[in-house]
Amino acid sequence: MPATRPALLSPEFLAQLERLSLYSRRVFRGRVKGERRSPRRGHSVEFCDYRGYGVGDDLRYVDWNIYGRLDRLYVKLFVDEEELCLHLLLDASASMDFGAPTKLEYGARIAAALGFIGLVNMERVGVGVLRERVAEGWAPTRGRGHVVSLLEFLGRVTSAGGTRLDEGLQNYAVRARDPGLAVVISDLLDPVGFESGVRALLERRFDVHLVHVLAPEELDPELAGDLRLVDSETAEVRDLSVDGEAIRTYRKRLRAFLERAETFCRAHEIGYHRVTTDTPVQDFVLSQVRGRLLV
């Protein structure tokens, strides 16, 4: 795979992304005030409601005008603001180097689109690159001024090595300073599975979405005859004859694999988004993801 790629996102697509913002089902307390309206009550500048005074409440927020009229103490409530951290976890194992465009290139474009939305909305955005572990990363940063840096980082990611999704996700969950919105982008082709790693994120109270990226050829293989298959990650070699029965068996196991992923996500209230690399990234982000991860 080349070290650099063409521009991940077109100017026209970026203009469409400007109108979107990230949506999380959970409230996260950041280290600094953010620009995201929170359902919590706080002490920002925007008034939202009153409640009765309680012992220990700050007298600075008592509405003395109401006290003068009703002879009762009420405290002003304000809309609090929260900071959201978007964690983009991109699988860059060797199996992602397949298809045209490759699954890694496609996944990097999805990550770039989501990261752009986060940065222009003053959210913090970080990236973890998953192989046999968290191989590298882009530390959580906020602000529109970091968009170019993010796109350059994602454009340099290359595929290599085996897949250890459980280990990589568990490691990231432990190392992350703040939980937030975690978007895992992967083909999930790890024989050990991915469930333990995702559970580790959930235990740290991440709001998890899983983007399952597959090549069209993986869903509908056009293979026939005597073949020698080489595993791109383990170099294991297997000789086989591909006939109608072999294709039927493959499709049966593929259905079970996809149903397993979808059922796990549904049972754990994880956003599951399956996409093939022949789907334009714009269509995926603006149609399939919008309304579930984006608003």
List, by residue range, all CATH 3.40.50.410 domains of the chain: 11-28+84-289
CA 136 to chain centroid? 17
Average per-residue pLDDT in the chain? 85
**Residue-wise pLDDT tens digits, 198-254:** 999 999 999 999 999 999 999 998 877 788 888 777 778 888 888 888 889 989 999
Confidence check: pLDDT of 179 > 90: no
> Between vectors from CA 104 to CA 131 and to CA 178, what angle results, nearest 5°?
55
CA distances from 130 to 81, 188, 194, 253 (A): 32, 11, 12, 25
**Residue-wise pLDDT tens digits, 62-121:** 888 888 888 888 877 654 455 689 999 999 999 999 999 999 999 999 999 999 999 999
Confidence check: pLDDT of 170 > 80: yes
Residues paired with residue 213 on neighbouring β-strands, in sequence order? 275
pTM of the model: 0.81
Confidence check: pLDDT of 165 > 60: yes
pLDDT band at 132 (very low <50, low <70, confident <90, very high): confident
Highest average pLDDT, of 50-64, 176-190, 232-246, comes from 176-190
CATH of the domain spanning 11-28+84-289: 3.40.50.410
CA distances from 291 to 115, 216, 284, 295 (A): 17, 25, 12, 5
Query: Percentage of residues in the chain with pLDDT exceeding 70?
Result: 85
